[in-house]
Every structure is written in structure tokens, then in C-alpha cells.
A and B are shown apart, each in its own frame.
Chain A
Amino acid sequence: MSNRVAPLPRSGGGQRPHAIYLAIGFPPAAKSSAYRLRETANQFVAMGWDITVITICQEAWEREYGLDHTLSEKVDPRVKVIELPLMREDLETDIRAFSEERSIDPVGWISRLRKREQKIFPERDFGGWRYELEKAVVQQHRQHPADLLISSCAPYVNLAATWKLWEEYRVPYAVDFRDGWSLDVIGGGEAFTRDSVSGRWESKVLEHALAVWCVNDPIAGFYRERYPHLADRVHVVRNGYDEDSLPDVSGRSPDPNAGLTFGYLGSVNFTPAFLESVLDGWRIARRNDPILARSRFEVRGHIGAGPIREANRHMDLLKEAAVDNVSFGGPVPKSDLAATYGSWDALVLMLVGGRFVTSGKVYEFMATGLPVLSAHDVDHDASNILAGHPLWTGAVGLDPHRLADSFSEAARMALKATDEDRATARQLARRFARPAVLAPAVRHLTELVQPTPAGVPAPAATASTGDVQP
């Protein structure tokens, strides 16, 4: 550990405060987290901060879910973005970049790579980025001293860089933990113990964090229970939706004779068996319901990464379902979201996990004002969000027969929904508009960090940071 403590002056004293924001996945990365990262950065700027976003190069995202430059259009031009030349080696698809050893044993090569990476930092695929990230934040701090560092996870390797800046320059930090690290949000249990390497990293970094943000109450509850002495620093900062993604749904009157269009938009990150259940439910519904027999089901979003991008079992299932009027149309640029939603009559909300998973898309689905068919566990946090939505079929689990009933119910809702129903649904979602969610959280952090004229930090805000109540 270095003995140097804050040798550089802070940027206070009348100037704009400066925050370094570790936000891997920042636009133009076509990732679901990009919206949250963008809004956070914009909110900081709006509250008078200079903000420097540290993310990875655009080529790296091409290997994964690709790029959506329309996402960058709404990034405040005052946000400074630094792209580090870091890429996931395991997703490399250029065979010329392969060693002969990798070409002979690709699985073994990746497994050895992961072992090496995890020796550096205990996180698969990203652990190897530690030193570059550390170097980048330190360099940035030297160039433009930071008053705050915000670390958005995943990847959790960001925590190493966060700690480095704290250790060397005592730069205060907050962790936007989103889904948390030591919690297995899908399985519902502990992902690793406190005495494991990851556990030690997590507890060490959280110990000094000004604030820890989580996306829902169950995750926040988990962390408050795991670290009782940090309970008052753990806050719920939900995901939300962007107004410009919403379609105009007023005055709709779908034609039952032409059939309806159901849509799913998001990453296809669930298991093939999950998708199969939904497709089976769709087929049963088409057999039983003449309107659905004339209807279509469009799936849009990202499927697979690296060499199996759009070439995995999910794709096979979707192609096989083409005879049932199921189609896959690839990702949708942010600028086309509203039009895409607008072309659909009902939405199919496919979500993995249970009570610890909320996801971002539930807010957007809810805010469209279109009927929402839930295809997820009954005990899922999305059910809490959607409760009270007038055009929600309710969660019935993943039994295909019950899902078939939900498809019929959603079709009925789509045909009978009035403008009033749609407006009620939108109104209900309004509390989850992204600025409404993130602005209080950013304000709270600002209050925690910004020195008062007397040089004493302002007292911490007591209000909830972002979990705005209706």
C-alpha cells in the first residue's frame, strides 16, 4: 500500500466539482445498462459537476452486443468520455488474432485465460482489466483532481480501481451496485462467502463507500442484512424508463381480423428452455384462440455474443417457430424504440430470476401503456412493479398452458383497452421516469460530497435516494 495521501489539490474552492465515473457500458454500447449510465452522467452535469466517464473502446462492444450510436445523442456534450483499449479476449472472433495454441484448444485456452484473469481480480472475463483501470483513474485524477468517484458495477473489477484511488488519494466514492455482487440474483442465495477473495474485496470496498445503490428493495435488503453497519448507506435507486422511448398509443383500435402483434424487446439472456415454454404457450394459444391464430410475435434484441452471436440454441428455436408467425428482427436502435413499441399491440415480458430481479425493461414496458403479458416467476420483483397496472395479465409462471391463457388475455386487453386505460398505465409508470429516479440519488451524493463554504461537508440527506413513492 502506498503512503501517499491526497497530494493533489481537490477541485473545490469555487470551481465545478469533478467526478470520475467508472461506467463500462456507457453509450454507444448497445447494452441495457447504457440508459442508466447515461442518465447518471447527465444528472451529475445538470447538478453542476464536471464528469469524466471511463469506459472501454467501441470495438469491444462490437464483439458483444454491438453499438447504438443513437444512444450517444442524448449524452450531455459536457460529459467527457475516456475509452480504454480494453476488450474481452474470450469474445475475439478474428482468427488471425488467435495463437496456434488457442486454435487447437479454444476451450482450454479460455479456461486458462480466465484462471489468469481471476488471479488478478476475482471476476471472470474482466479481472484482467484491473491494472489498466487503476492506471486510468489515477491518471485522470492527476490531470483533473476528482472530488468523487462513482463506480457502476458490473463489471466488479471497477471496485479495484475505485479502491486504488481511495487508497492513494482518499477520493470519496459511491458504488452503483445495481444487482449486487455477493447476491445470486437468479438463484436467490449468496454468490460467495464473506471470507472468499471476492467477499473480502466487496466488504473492503463497501466499508468506505459514501453510498451503495441497488436496483430494488430485495437486493438492498440483502446488503443491509449482510453489512448491518452500512445499512443507512444502502439505497434503492431503481432502473427507470426514458420518455423518448415511449410510443404514441392514443386512439389505437387494433383490427381483430388482421390479428395482433405481440412484441418482446430486450436481451435474450434466459435459457433455451425458458424461451421454449413461452413459444409453446404461444402455439397453444394460437390453436385455441382464432385471434391469436392470425397474430404475430416479434422478438427484438440481442442474442448471444462473440462467435455464437445470433447463432445459438435460442436462434434455432426462434427460426423453428417461424411457421407460428414468430420472427426475430435483431436489435433496435434507441432512436427506433418508440416506433417499434408503437407497431406492437401487446408486450411479452420475459424475465429470468425471481424476487431479486427487477430488470430495466419492466419500467419501459409498463410506461408504454400497452398490455403487458408476464412470462416470469410469480414471485418476481417485476410483479411488485406491475401491481395495479390496468393492462397487465398478471404473472402465472412458465407453464405453457397458463401462458397460453395469458396470451389470450393480453389479446383481449389489447382489443378492449381504452385511451383511459392506457393513460392510467402510463400515469402509474410515471414515478419510474429515469430522471425522477436518478435525480434525487445524484443530489444526495452531491450533498454528501460538496464542501460547504465553511469547508465542512453538508449533512447527509435523509430522504430516500431515488425510490420515489407515488
Chain B
Amino acid sequence: MIEILMVMGTVPGRVAVLTDALEQFRAKGVIVRVATTFDPVENTPAATELAEVHRLPTSAELGSRFVRMAKRANPARRPWLRAQRDPWVRRHAKRADVLVALDAHALHTVWHLAQRHRRADAVYGIAPALRAVEKRSADPARYRRPRLNTTGPAPVVLASATRSQTVDLAKRVFEMSTGKRAMKLGPVRWFWQGAVTAPGLPERHRGRIARRVTGNMLESGHAASAKRLALAAQGRLGPTTRGPLLDPIVDAELSQGKVSEHLMTVVRSHLKLADGFLKKRNPGKAEPHVLRAFNLMFHRIVQFDGTTSPLAEDPEKFLAPLHDSEAGRAMAAPRGRQSPAAFPPAGRPHRMLFFTGLNDNFLGPILDRYEAMPGVEVRRLNLREESILPVLSNGRTNVVQHLLAGSSKRADEVQEAWGPHLDWADTVFVDWCNLGAAMLTMIDPGTTRVVVRLHSFEAFSWWPHLTDWSRVDDLVFVSEHLRDLALAAVPRLGAPQGPRTHMINNAMELHRYVTPKVSADSRFTLGLVGLSSLAKDPRWALAVLRELRRRDERYRLKLIGDALDPKLSPAIEAYVRELDAELAELESSGAVVRTGRTDDVPGALTDVGVILSTSLRESFHCALVEGAASGAVPVVRDWPFFAGRPHSARTLFPSDWVVGTPEEAAERILALTASEEVWREAGRAASAHVLSTWDWSVTQKDFDRLLLEPPATAD
């Protein structure tokens, strides 16, 4: 009677085919046994009724030593390691006439069994198994005859076993000597530092060893040793290996709130790796390296949570590795549009499409205006709608893939989801230059005019580098200093195929902030509205307050808004710790009051006599302007990110509002609050200025010009 031993390395997708084959074997009187790597009762119950099905011993059953060994082994070898230790398999493999691998994961196991039991046929797949059985049934005598070349295991088994045991031993020694436990020992750390810098070691081994050792040094709490080793190995490594070695060091420093001095080395290394894959026409493998470079360059610790940002300091220099890389060039390549944007024809309403849903904080008055305007038809494309969300999912990765490859399935999906809306619209307005803008420019907008507004944070992010500016007609900034920064950071904005750029201030309905102050004593109350990011730097306000209270104890500070969330980053955590220490003293004496978040900002400003802008960076700072509209005297820190540039807080606001230091701020406040009359007059003047300059009744004309009039040249 013919006996078959089948091996399944993975749950079969084709249970019907398997059961049918088992029935066929049964009909032929063949004994079939099946060894599986999974629970057969749960996964292939039908098969258990047709054959003797046996599960290979699990790792848990084989013990922790096996688990460690299996972990070291190539995953494809693991089923064999289990089968090798299974007496059931050994017993039935010896008896089997046909050994069958039913899937690719079972191949290696059957290959080994075939080397040990040379009398049996060893085949891959059900149909070949049936054929082998038919052949044996047709001429059983032929297979009964013992032959020299089918007796005993093949010599290759011995060689293979010795080789794999040696490899396993070497791996074990390496793992032990480079593991976390070993890294706790100073001499071991010293040894590896010497070993990874030893001459003659091939780069691929040096890199791999150094990566493992530094990783385990970091995990065992020896960051300094890890850094020393990584730096020592640098000189002997190529540019693409250096970066990955320093990667965990840079990560560890970022997680402590520090910007590593090696950050750009790692960035350059990842971009170089990406370039290598692009050269081999493998954009899929380039993409993770580009994303990693982005994550590091635009990490919040690097760009947002410090008192300065390398991008703001020197955008060209900071972004040069990106712009000079093949990946950067591929992403910057303009795809253009088939037809230029067309102005809507006369005789029908101007159709405007607004992308909404992600952050509509600055869009309200604009939407209200055009929705109520005769001759304009407005539609909103809510990006939070369930039907749209799948298109946006994993958006950044998909945009990067698309830009690197030049085309993508996701672009087709965007075309399908958004195309009809674009076909309808004459103008599409995308507030915020982020995911919506990047995904929109994956597709050709047809003759629809595309307007994007960039506020502030986006300039410090990857999004402007993932937007195809040749498909954007107009780019709106809310201040000149942001325009300067964006143009320097994204050179293709100034290219011939780039968009027209405009500066239009935020749409603010400032009249609702004009309310009488509760009393003359309000002039001693400083106000700071909005605290939720480190860029607002409330500690600067405390410095001003301390300076004032040194002269006059009546001054106090009212902090309006959500507190900083220390969980967001270690830098914020450290900042909050210091802020809380300062506030502890000032709050107990009543010098500082925290009101928290309020929906009634005009009401909260009625007792505020001086409105502060203490930020490190702002694009416009609406809260300050709203405070000024309320009659509070504005005092603006010369935002350090932009101070000294052609455009800054000093060029945005009347120059007397802007101060360089807390002392200067205190001087301005003391001077303008010296008497009720002086204070009220200064407040009135500030209010009049902001209302006549930035109230929506004024700035809406700029929007009308942009959106309703045929495009002119850039501002």
C-alpha cells in the first residue's frame, strides 16, 4: 500500500482542492498523513476527516532553547527545525513512498526529508503527487527493488547539517557577545569598539555588527559608549552605512529633546540610499528612506520645539541635501497640466470648491462670504467624510511613492474620488498647504484654477516639498516673512511653472472684539491668548511681568487658553517643568491667573489692558490683533525666528509695537499705562489701526480680487 506524507507550511487558501485530492488518494487506497505547522482542527477541519493530520510541535512545546535557535534561523527553515524534532514526522517519513510539499513554506522541510529518505518520491504540489502515486501503482515492483543510490541518507545531509550547526553556533556566540546583557560589561563594550574599527573587516559586516552593538548599548543604558563606538566606526564606513549606524543615536537624542549634531549625516545617508534605489529603478525601496529623512529633517524637536530652527536660520543650506538628491529632484519634477486654468464663462455662477474638514479655523468668514454671494456657487469637499478618508489614508507615504515613481494607483483613486468635483469647479481653494494640497496635485486639475493657502507650520514641514507646484495657480501667504521663508525653502515656487504668490492677511471679524474695558485698573492686566505650543513662549511673558512687578506690584498676567501638553515632546516637558516652577510662585501671589480655554475671547479680553505676543515665531498672530481690536495696548516680541530679516514682526506691525527684550517690553508698558488717559488713547489708536487694516471688511476685497477677478501677475 502506498503511503504519502504531506507537509503544509501555511494554512491553505484552497481547502476544497486539498480535500478533493485527499478523497482521490483515499479512493486509490493510499494512506495519507499530513503534517502542518498550524492547528489543523481549527484551520482545515475537513482534511482531518480524510487523513491523519498532525501538528508539528510548537515552539512553546520545544522549549526556550529552541525558541532562541528558531529566532536565529532563517524563517524558511523554521518548519524544518520543528519537523526535525518530531518523532511522528521521523517515523512516517521513513515509511512514506511519496513526500509532498503542499506550499512554498513546506519545501525546505520536504527537501530535508527527501535527502534522508531517498527511496521516496519528493514532489511539490497536489497534481505531481497524484502523478507520482499513479506511476508507483503502475509498476510497484520497480519501486520495491532496493538500490544503492536510494539507501540511507544522502551525503549532502551530513554536509548540510554540519554547515547549519556551525552557522548556528557562530550565530549564538555572536548574539551572546553582542547582546544587551554583554553590553553591561565594560570590557565587552571596549572590545567591540576596537573590533568595529579594526581594519580589513568588510563594510557590510562592520556596519551590521556596529548597528547591533550600538543598539544594544543604547538599550542597556550605555548611550555614551554607543555614541563613541558609532563615531569611531564612521571613518571606516561609506556614506550609506554611516547614517543607519547613527540612526539610533540621533533618535535617542531626539527622544531626550536634543537635536543631534549628526542629524544631517543620517539624513544625507538616507537620501543617498534612496538615490541608489532610484537609480536601480526601485522607487518602492527608496520611499522608506525618503520618509525617514523627512521625519528627521522636520522633526518637531528640530523645527518646532526649540528657540530657533535650522530651517528658519538658513533654509537653503538646511534643505540643500534634499534639493541636491535624486530623490529630491524626482519629487520636485513638475508634471504640469494639460490645459491652463480657465476663468469661468459669463452667464453662469462662478463655481468654487473649498476643501474643508481638516482645520477650518481660518476659513469661516471666507466661506460665509462666498456662500452668500450672488453669482457664486460654493461646494465643500469635506475631507473627513467616510467616502474620502480611504483616499487620504497613509497619505504621505502614498504621495512620496507617487512622486518617486511618477505614477501610482493612489493617484487614480484620487482622480476617481475628486475628479468629478474638480470637473464641476472653476476654482478650488485649499486652506493649509498639507495633505489635501499634496494629494490634489497628484492629478491634473484640468481647467480648474487651484488656489492654496500656506499659513505657517507647513513651511517647517515636508508638505511644500510634496506638492506639485506646477499644478497650483495661486499660493496665498498670510504674511511677507512666511512668503520669504517658503520661497527660500522651496526654490521651485519661483520657477516659471510655479504658482503666482500673494500676501493676504487672515480673514478676521475684529469688530466683535471691540468692547469697553471693565475699569481703569485693567491697564495693569497683561493678556496672553493661546498657549498650546512651545512657540508661544509664555515664559517670556513671565519675564516681562517680573520686570514690571519689580517697579509696580499692581501688574498681573492673565493666561488664556489650553495649557501646553508636556506629553507632546521631551522639549515641551522640560519647558513645562520650568514654566510650572515659575508659575508656582507667581500664581500663589495672584500675579498670574490662568483661565484656561474659553469660547468667549472678547469677554475674556474686557479686563485685559495690554495684549502680548511673546512668540518665537508667528505667521500673523491673530490673537494679538484681536486683543488690539479690544482696546488693549499691543506689545509684540520681535519674533526671533524672523528678527532681523527683510520682513518680520517689525514690518508687519507698527514699529513702536515691537520690542526686542522683556526689559524693552516693560518700558513700553510702563510708558503706555502710566495714566488711564495715556493707556486709553494708546488702546484706541491700536484698535483703530487693526480695524482699518485687518478687519474682514477690509481684507475681503483682497480675496475678491484673488478669487473673482481674472488672474493678474504676482503681487
A interface residues with partner B (beta carbon < 8 Å):
62, 92-96, 98, 100, 102-107, 304, 306-313, 315-316, 319-320
In the complex, what residue of chain B is closest to A93 when comparing beta carbons?
A: B128
Within the complex, which residue of A98, A309, A319 is in contact with B128, where a contact is CB–CB below 8 Å?
A: A309
A sample of 8 more A-B contacts (CB under 8 A), given A94-B123, A100-B160, A315-B16, is A94-B124, A95-B101, A95-B114, A104-B107, A304-B127, A309-B128, A311-B125, A316-B14
Q: Cα distance A100–B13 when bound, in Å?
A: 26
Within the complex, which residue of B76, B121, B156 is in contact with A105, where a contact is CB–CB below 8 Å?
A: B76
Q: Which residues of B contact A62 (CB under 8 A)?
A: 131
A81 to chain B: closest CB distance in Å? 24
Q: Are B76 and A316 in contact (CB under 8 A)?
A: no
* Among A95, A104, A306, A315: residue with most chain B CB under 10 A: A95
Q: Are B124 and A93 in contact (CB under 8 A)?
A: yes
Within 8 A of A (CB), among B142-194: 156, 160
A105-B76, A315-B17, A319-B16 known; A310-B127 Cβ under 8 A: yes
A111 to chain B: closest CB distance in Å? 13
Q: Are A309 and B108 in contact (CB under 8 A)?
A: no
* Interface assignment of B122: CB less than 8 Å from any CB of chain A: yes
Within 8 A of A (CB), among B384-422: none
Within 8 A of A (CB), among B4-44: 13-18, 20-21
* Interface assignment of B110: CB less than 8 Å from any CB of chain A: yes
Q: Which residues of A contact B101 (CB under 8 A)?
A: 95, 307
Q: Are B20 and A319 in contact (CB under 8 A)?
A: yes
A95-B99, A95-B110 known; A107-B16 Cβ under 8 A: no
Q: Are B111 and A309 in contact (CB under 8 A)?
A: no
Q: Are B123 and A95 in contact (CB under 8 A)?
A: yes
19 contacting pairs across A/B (C-beta < 8 A): A93-B125, A93-B128, A94-B122, A95-B123, A96-B122, A98-B107, A100-B108, A103-B111, A104-B74, A104-B108, A105-B76, A304-B127, A311-B17, A311-B126, A311-B127, A312-B17, A313-B14, A315-B17, A320-B16
Within the complex, which residue of B13, B15, B128 is in contact with A307, where a contact is CB–CB below 8 Å?
A: B128
Query: Does more than half of chain B's interface fall in helix, strand or loop, or is it mixed?
Result: helix
Q: Cα distance A306–B127 when bound, in Å?
A: 8
A103-B107, A105-B76, A106-B107 known; A93-B123 Cβ under 8 A: yes
In the complex, what residue of chain A is closest to B123 when comparing beta carbons?
A: A93
Q: Which residues of B contact A107 (CB under 8 A)?
A: 104
* Among B123, B124, B156: residue with most chain A CB under 10 A: B124
Q: Are B13 and A313 in contact (CB under 8 A)?
A: yes
Q: Which residues of A contact B77 (CB under 8 A)?
A: 104
B12 to chain A: closest CB distance in Å? 9
List 3 tightest A-B contacts by C-beta distance, closest first: A307-B125, A319-B16, A103-B111
Within the complex, which residue of A95, A304, A308, A319 is in contact with B122, where a contact is CB–CB below 8 Å?
A: A95
Q: Which residues of B contact A98 (CB under 8 A)?
A: 107, 111
Within 8 A of A (CB), among B509-525: none
* Among A100, A103, A106, A316: residue with most chain B CB under 10 A: A103
Q: Which residues of A contact B127 (CB under 8 A)?
A: 304, 307, 309-311
In the complex, what residue of chain A is closest to B77 when comparing beta carbons?
A: A104
Q: Cα distance A188–B131 when bound, in Å?
A: 39
In the complex, what residue of chain B is closest to A107 when comparing beta carbons?
A: B104
In the complex, what residue of chain A is closest to B104 when comparing beta carbons?
A: A106
Q: Are B76 and A310 in contact (CB under 8 A)?
A: no
**Interface mask (B64-102 → A, CB under 8 Å = 1, otherwise 0):** 000000000010110000000000000000000001010
B217 to chain A: closest CB distance in Å? 32
Q: Cα distance A95–B80 when bound, in Å?
A: 15
Q: Are B20 and A96 in contact (CB under 8 A)?
A: no
In the complex, what residue of chain A is closest to B14 when comparing beta carbons?
A: A316
Q: Which residues of B contact A315 (CB under 8 A)?
A: 14, 16-17, 20
Q: Are B76 and A306 in contact (CB under 8 A)?
A: no
Q: Cα distance A319–B127 when bound, in Å?
A: 16
In the complex, what residue of chain B is closest to A92 when comparing beta carbons?
A: B124
Q: Cα distance A169–B385 when bound, in Å?
A: 70
A104-B74, A309-B127 known; A95-B107 Cβ under 8 A: yes
Q: Which residues of A contact B104 (CB under 8 A)?
A: 106-107
Q: Cα distance A315–B126 when bound, in Å?
A: 12
Q: Are B13 and A316 in contact (CB under 8 A)?
A: yes
Q: Are A312 and B123 in contact (CB under 8 A)?
A: no
Q: Which residues of B contact A310 (CB under 8 A)?
A: 17, 126-127
Q: Which residues of B contact A96 (CB under 8 A)?
A: 114, 122
Q: Which residues of A contact B126 (CB under 8 A)?
A: 309-311
In the complex, what residue of chain B is closest to A320 when comparing beta carbons?
A: B16
Q: Which residues of B contact A311 (CB under 8 A)?
A: 14, 17-18, 21, 125-127
Q: Which residues of B contact A319 (CB under 8 A)?
A: 16-17, 20
Q: Cα distance A443–B121 when bound, in Å?
A: 50
Q: Which residues of B contact A104 (CB under 8 A)?
A: 74, 76-77, 107-108
Q: Cα distance A100–B124 when bound, in Å?
A: 14
In the complex, what residue of chain B is closest to A94 when comparing beta carbons?
A: B123
B127 to chain A: closest CB distance in Å? 4
Q: Are A309 and B16 in contact (CB under 8 A)?
A: no
Q: Are B74 and A95 in contact (CB under 8 A)?
A: no
Q: Which residues of A contact B21 (CB under 8 A)?
A: 311
A100-B111, A319-B20 known; A95-B124 Cβ under 8 A: yes
Q: Which residues of B contact A106 (CB under 8 A)?
A: 104, 107
Q: Cα distance A93–B77 when bound, in Å?
A: 19
Q: Which residues of B contact A306 (CB under 8 A)?
A: 124-125
Within the complex, which residue of B74, B107, B123, B125 is in contact with A308, where a contact is CB–CB below 8 Å?
A: B125
Q: Which residues of B contact A102 (CB under 8 A)?
A: 107
In the complex, what residue of chain A is closest to B111 when comparing beta carbons?
A: A103
Q: Which residues of A contact B124 (CB under 8 A)?
A: 92-95, 306-307
In the complex, what residue of chain A is closest to B18 when comparing beta carbons?
A: A311
Q: Which residues of B contact A105 (CB under 8 A)?
A: 76
Q: Which residues of B contact A309 (CB under 8 A)?
A: 125-128
Q: Cα distance A62–B125 when bound, in Å?
A: 13
Q: Which residues of B contact A92 (CB under 8 A)?
A: 124
A189 to chain B: closest CB distance in Å? 14
Q: Cα distance A94–B110 when bound, in Å?
A: 11
Q: Cα distance A103–B76 when bound, in Å?
A: 9
In the complex, what residue of chain A is closest to B160 when comparing beta carbons?
A: A100
Q: Which residues of B contact A94 (CB under 8 A)?
A: 121-124, 128
Within the complex, which residue of A95, A304, A307, A313 is in contact with B111, where a contact is CB–CB below 8 Å?
A: A95
B659 to chain A: closest CB distance in Å? 65
Q: Which residues of B contact A320 (CB under 8 A)?
A: 16
Q: Which residues of B contact A308 (CB under 8 A)?
A: 125
In the complex, what residue of chain B is closest to A106 when comparing beta carbons?
A: B104
Q: Cα distance A11–B162 when bound, in Å?
A: 62
Q: Which residues of A contact B13 (CB under 8 A)?
A: 313, 316
In the complex, what residue of chain A is closest to B109 when comparing beta carbons?
A: A103
Q: Which residues of A contact B128 (CB under 8 A)?
A: 93-94, 307, 309
Q: Which residues of A contact B112 (CB under 8 A)?
A: 103
Q: Which residues of B contact A312 (CB under 8 A)?
A: 14, 17
In the complex, what residue of chain B is closest to A315 when comparing beta carbons?
A: B17
* Among B107, B114, B160: residue with most chain A CB under 10 A: B107
B280 to chain A: closest CB distance in Å? 12
B349 to chain A: closest CB distance in Å? 38
**Interface mask (B113-143 → A, CB under 8 Å = 1, otherwise 0):** 0100000011111111001000000000000
In the complex, what residue of chain A is closest to B128 when comparing beta carbons?
A: A93
In the complex, what residue of chain B is closest to A310 when comparing beta carbons?
A: B127
In the complex, what residue of chain B is closest to A307 when comparing beta carbons?
A: B125
* Among B110, B125, B156: residue with most chain A CB under 10 A: B125
B228 to chain A: closest CB distance in Å? 38
Within 8 A of A (CB), among B338-388: none
In the complex, what residue of chain B is closest to A328 when comparing beta carbons?
A: B20
Q: Cα distance A290–B711 when bound, in Å?
A: 67
A141 to chain B: closest CB distance in Å? 37
B227 to chain A: closest CB distance in Å? 37
Q: Cα distance A62–B131 when bound, in Å?
A: 10
Q: Cα distance A74–B609 when bound, in Å?
A: 106
Q: Cα distance A103–B77 when bound, in Å?
A: 9
**Interface mask (B313-337 → A, CB under 8 Å = 1, otherwise 0):** 0000000000000000000000000
A58 to chain B: closest CB distance in Å? 14
